[in-house]
Structure 1
Amino acid sequence: MTQGRDDASLRAAARVGQILRGKWRLDRLLGIGGTACVYAATHRNGQRGAVKLLRPEHAGDEEARQRFLREGYVANRVAHPGAVAVLDDDIAEDGSPFLVMELLDGDTLEQRASKRPGHRLTPAEVAFVADRLLDVLAAAHDKGIVHRDIKPENVFLTRAGEVRILDFGIARIHEAQHGPGRLTEVGSVMGTPAFMPPEQALGHTATIDARTDIWALGAVLFYALTGRVIHEADTVNKVLLSAMTRPAPQLASILQGLPSPFCEVIDRALAFQQKDRWQDARSMQRALRAVIPSLPPGMPGLEAAGATALSSTAPALAHDATAAGGRGSRTVALATAFVLLLGAIGATAIIMTRRKAPPVEPAAAAAPPAPPPPTAEPAPAPAASEETVIELPETADTSAPASPAVKSAPQGGSRPTYLGNKKKKKSDSDLNMNQW
């Protein structure tokens, strides 16, 4: 298996520098999945994009080709900024289909969580992400589109503070489910078991609807808050069995200290029976926004905005300023300017301060010091009572902008991915057979 991955990597790398259909030059390999490879690319007019290219060994499979190409049409049909747009599609000279998508800069939710102790985000961050995802899902569900593979690797957080949903490759369009060319039959299982609700794990295709995505979203929020998946097992079959038969645990039983109303929003999304879940994305979004004021702030600017969009939270996801210091670090703040008079020369310094200890209580008022003698030199500034440092935001490798399709392997063990009757475990080089 390792040899096979190595061969696939070599073949994918060999494509770098090629020009597809005389217009898209493949600049850099960004990732390799089970069925496709993703490259940073440049159009002949200078536009940048992410090219997702079906691997040659799958290009002869007509169903794989159809599923691959329909991703672009479905994603664009959602017509929401949170769904990654597909800019172009075509067939390469060797017969391999390819899609051209927006080239995004940032992290998947899986990657962002992996940078935090315990793989956990703050409740305020999770609420922000959930609000934005519910907005995209509401737009998709309005058009009869069910994503069917909502998971941390398919949620992308840009450095501009946007939240995007990736990979509509196995989405289901309800209005066409009985028409010709239907790709999913009753009894088949498509998606990622750790984030599958019971009806999807059981292969009850006819019952899959918007509430299926709501359960998967609840599982993503559960993971982001607790650092663990709902159904844990050492084989994909055991995970599927657990998904089919075992209700999700109550969030408060895993993570104490959260406000009960917030836990109840997520617990209802994870209800075993579809009729007991939120019946649509907008009703869950309204309930979520109502409880946001009760959440402890986790990042600066994370304040509830009532029923309006949480636009004030965008800077919190623009970059992870606390990743290096972990949850105990204070956020970088700009100290006020101060002036040190040294003789006749004035100097102004603006510093970035990170607190590493709880705020120091103000000292009791004391009598003002006696003025210095007229001939004395100005006294030096007192030492700061806290450590002052210059801290720059965490940055990614600027030579390779992140693609919407790049995935990191789950930390703390592999997460099985299941497509049809094929089972596969992700690894560092074979990241996700569903997405690419």
Structure 2
Amino acid sequence: MEAAAESRCPNCFTVPLSTPCRRCGWASGLDNPPPALALGTLLDGRYRIGRVLGHGGFGITYLAWDENLHLRLAIKEYLPRDSATRAPDGVSLAVYSGPAAEQFAYGLERFLEEARALARFDQHPGIVTVKSFFRAHGTGYCVMDYVEGLTFKQYLAQQPDGRLAFDQALKLLMPVMDALRAVHKDGLLHRDITPDNIYLTRSGRVKLLDFGAARFAAGEHSRSLSVILKPGYAPEEQYRTRGQQGPWTDVYSLAATLYRAITGQVPPDALDRLESDELMPPSRLGAGIRPEQEAVLLKALAVRAVERFESVEALQRAWKEAASSSSAPEQNPIDSAASSQKPSNAETPRVTQPSRASNVKRKPNVQKKRLSPLILLIPLLVVFAFLIFPYHSTIPVSPSPTYSLPTPDASSPASQPNFADGMAAFDRGDYQQAFAIWQPLAEQGDANAQFYLGKMYFNGQGVAKDYSQALQWYRKSAKQGFAQAQNNLGSMYTNGEGVAQDDAQAVQWYRKAAAQGADLAQFNLGLMYAKGQGVAQDYSQAVQWFRKAAEQGDAEAQFSLGVMYANGLVPRTLN
């Protein structure tokens, strides 16, 4: 029998309830930051609000617990910051007067229309499922499947040189093209394709997120495009009030995303290209791409719509024809030098950013500390930030938004059906079945399975809680370079769980994960430097590691940097 919501963590809905929560770090007295709904708020008589998963300019996405079906979902609330804010009652919205009120009403209708339209694609593997939508408290809510993974932007950020090989990037984006074909056939456009809105799930699927109907409607109605369009990804017709948009609009944004993935650079702004087109061919930026493939990409990026592919189908046909060419790719010397530094599994990399769903936490006695205005207590301020601020994102992610993720490559053991079956069992709470599936894979050396066995032993999911076994499996996975396992191993050394407490060892494992771009490990390493644990206290190093994590959107690191700036602890050389 599923545990009642009252016996679950109100932040992440983990059972059993404990303070602090072993999964997310929540402690009694903590709540979502304004203007988000408070933890425990009940919507539509069935959806219990948990932590904030994402907060953008047009809404807030929450983790939620469905009290009827007993499962986690994601709920997006329409709350455009330019036209409304939270009312004093803490639940309903207060809409600004004047033109803002009209803009809010217009955008709300588009938000609900989009939810209704996307609900028709509930079986499409490339689109996050919309379960339901409803009006309440003066605004609208969209109920979606709860998915775990990370954005394509985060995935690119953790690559050694911030980019991918062309064939790999194209393969990852093909499911996005399939999803666009489906929505275009129904007369819908996405209008906001960027690496932020492409999502890689932990089971290896690629999904398209955050369709821009409400966002576009707001700009269309207000004539203000500055908060809507993303330079480099938006084609020129989106900047014009009467610009004709169609499938070719999404073709441009998709091509810009591919360009960014293989070059590490965002294309020049479309309006600038109208005056003087200085778009650099990918081959001149070190990308290993055939001339035929490059020609397709540059046509998709044509600044004028009439010169682009008019549909995603036409673009996919062109890719297929280019792939059938017998000419071999001419690798640029720059790319050759860079690729020589990549690990041997670079063609099927695993996303190895750490997970807040695992046993990542600080020492219990540290978590109970409160903020202090004294400069000498800066380390405690940094730790408290971990408890106050949830991971900030613009998509419906889980409490564990970043962790090892297999790419959808058939050669990767983690993407084989039996691993996916284990994930499905794990998601529905059948931990014994998940353990039975993953154990043989782990024994065969699969780092993903080894990590999850460690997690299950640590949390007592499907097996008796055993820190020694958790440590063993995390270590096996960590030695294969699995960053989340490295981070969790560091956490166990920090807390003395299953092993003698050893801050120096913790720092070593955090450093290994941080070097791979794992934002939580970067935050943890910064924390160790700020506190002088396992390493000499060094605020310069703390700032540098906090900044690396903050640049990836880590809210805790952003807060910690703010605290250090406020207290004059940032060396002048780093300002």
Place the TM-score, normalised by the shorter chain, in its bin.
0.5 to 0.7
SS of the counterpart of 1:57? strand
SS of the counterpart of 2:161? helix
1:91 and 2:91 correspond: no
Distance in 2 between the 1:70 and 1:27 partners? 25
2:347 counterpart residue number: 299
Do the aligned partners of 1:71 and 1:167 also contact (CA within 8 Å) in 2?
no
SS of the counterpart of 2:280? coil
Larger Rg: 1
Distance in 2 between the 1:28 and 1:186 partners? 32
Distance in 1 between the 2:549 and 2:71 partners? 38
Offset at residue 172 of structure 1 (A): 10
1:275 counterpart residue number: 306
Offset at residue 32 of structure 1 (A): 1.6
1:120 counterpart residue number: 163
Provide closer, same or farther for how the CA distance between residues 157 and 243 of structure 1 changes in structure 2, counting only shifts above 3 A: farther
2:3 counterpart residue number: none
1:54 and 2:90 correspond: no
Offset at residue 251 of structure 1 (A): 1.9
Do the aligned partners of 2:238 and 2:245 also contact (CA within 8 Å) in 1?
yes
2:275 counterpart residue number: 245
Q: Residue type matched to 1:254 in 2?
A: L
Please identify which structure carries the higher helix content.
2
1:43 and 2:132 correspond: no
Offset at residue 120 of structure 1 (A): 0.9
Distance in 1 between the 2:152 and 2:210 partners? 14
Query: What per-residue deviation string (whole Å, max 9, x for no partner) do you get for residues 264-308 of structure 1?
Result: 22111101222221221112112223444767995249xxxxxxx
1:260 and 2:291 correspond: yes
Q: Aligned runs of 1:249-398 on 2, under 5 Å? A: 249-292=280-323, 298-300=346-348, 312-313=409-410, 315=412, 390-391=479-480, 393-395=482-484
Offset at residue 28 of structure 1 (A): 1.8
1:169 and 2:212 correspond: yes
Q: Matched residues, percent identical?
A: 26
Distance in 1 between the 2:222 and 2:66 partners? 41
Task: Extract unaligned runs of 5+ from structure 2.
Answer: 1-30, 87-92, 96-103, 332-344, 350-406, 417-442, 448-476, 489-519, 521-546, 559-575
Distance in 1 between the 2:59 and 2:162 partners? 28
1:24 and 2:47 correspond: yes
Q: Residue type matched to 1:255 in 2?
A: G
Do the aligned partners of 2:48 and 2:65 also contact (CA within 8 Å) in 1?
yes
Q: Residue type matched to 2:301 in 1?
A: L
Provide closer, same or farther for how the CA distance between residues 224 and 201 of structure 1 changes in structure 2, counting only shifts above 3 A: same
Q: Residue type matched to 2:264 in 1?
A: G
Q: Residue type matched to 1:245 in 2?
A: E
Do the aligned partners of 1:38 and 1:53 also contact (CA within 8 Å) in 2?
yes
TM-score by length of 1: 0.62
1:147 and 2:190 correspond: yes
The counterpart of 2:261, out of the listed 221, 224, 228, is 224
Provide closer, same or farther for how the CA distance between residues 172 and 153 of structure 1 changes in structure 2, counting only shifts above 3 A: closer
Query: What per-residue deviation string (whole Å, max 9, x for no partner) do you get for residues 330-358 of structure 1?
Result: xxxxxxxxxxxxxxxxxxx96679xxxxx
Offset at residue 216 of structure 1 (A): 0.6
Distance in 2 between the 1:40 and 1:144 partners? 30
Distance in 2 between the 1:186 and 1:27 partners? 33
SS of the counterpart of 1:26? strand
Distance in 2 between the 1:314 and 1:67 partners? 42
Higher relative contact order, chain-length normalized (CA < 8 Å, sep 6+): 1
SS of the counterpart of 1:91? strand
SS of the counterpart of 2:347? coil
The counterpart of 2:236, out of the listed 165, 181, 198, is 198
Offset at residue 395 of structure 1 (A): 4.3
Provide closer, same or farther for how the CA distance between residues 271 and 27 of structure 1 changes in structure 2, counting only shifts above 3 A: same
Do the aligned partners of 1:65 and 1:97 also contact (CA within 8 Å) in 2?
yes
1:184 and 2:242 correspond: no
Provide closer, same or farther for how the CA distance between residues 98 and 256 of structure 1 changes in structure 2, counting only shifts above 3 A: closer
Runs of 4+ in 1 over 6 A off after TM superposition: 410-415
Provide closer, same or farther for how the CA distance between residues 20 and 389 of structure 1 changes in structure 2, counting only shifts above 3 A: closer
1:234 counterpart residue number: none
Task: Extract unaligned runs of 5+ from structure 1.
Answer: 1-7, 174-180, 232-238, 302-309, 320-348, 354-387, 399-407, 416-425, 432-436
Offset at residue 88 of structure 1 (A): 1.4
Q: Residue type matched to 1:242 in 2?
A: D
Query: What per-residue deviation string (whole Å, max 9, x for no partner) do you get for residues 190-236 of structure 1?
Result: 4322211122223443x1111111011000001111111112xxxxx
Offset at residue 156 of structure 1 (A): 0.7
Offset at residue 153 of structure 1 (A): 0.6
Offset at residue 393 of structure 1 (A): 4.1
Q: Which moved more, 1:213-222 or 1:161-170?
A: 161-170
Provide closer, same or farther for how the CA distance between residues 216 and 413 of structure 1 changes in structure 2, counting only shifts above 3 A: farther
Offset at residue 34 of structure 1 (A): 1.7
Distance in 2 between the 1:185 and 1:251 partners? 37
Distance in 1 between the 2:554 and 2:234 partners? 20
Do the aligned partners of 1:187 and 1:203 also contact (CA within 8 Å) in 2?
yes
